[in-house]
Amino acid sequence: MYKTVLVAIDGSELSELAQNHALALAKAFGSRVVVVHVTPPWSSLVVGDAVVMYPPADYDLTMEKSAQKLLAKSAEVFKSAGIDVETVHNTDPQAHKAIVETAKDKGCDLIVMGSHGRHGLAGLMLGSVATKVVTHAHVPVLIVRT
């Protein structure tokens, strides 16, 4: 049913739960898996008259190392189960766009991801990556919640 499953991870316990669902689906359907992790691009932070800057090169290196460590750990879970896995690290200020584009670029026919289920003011202020993925994706999206 699903030939290629994309799972979006962020290192949280909830994304690990989503990963476990993707693993079960991949085993059941003989699917390959694409694991994606999205990090925000470098930016400076302006607070009043102060500017907080993390050097762009240092930021990029730190984000890349962190992403590769997280992706390698996830890939090992799938590889140890005999599942073909590919990892992708994207940098985008809007994570949902990177997730949807990766699914499209890699020919995924299902997206699996966790959602913290924020609603009300928290949902309005923080937005929900999961909600935006559901809204913009052209394939089914499985939302995993605790």
CATH of the domain at 77: 3.40.50.620
Whole-prediction pTM: 0.86
In the chain, the amino acid numbered 40 is P
pLDDT tens-place string over residues 3-55: 999 999 999 999 999 999 999 999 999 999 999 999 988 776 555 666 566 67
What integer pLDDT is reported at residue 119 of this predicted model? 57
In a domain, 120, yes or no: yes
Structural domains of the chain, count: 1
Reported confidence tier of residue 116, pLDDT bands at 50, 70, 90? confident
Report the mean per-residue pLDDT for the chain.
88
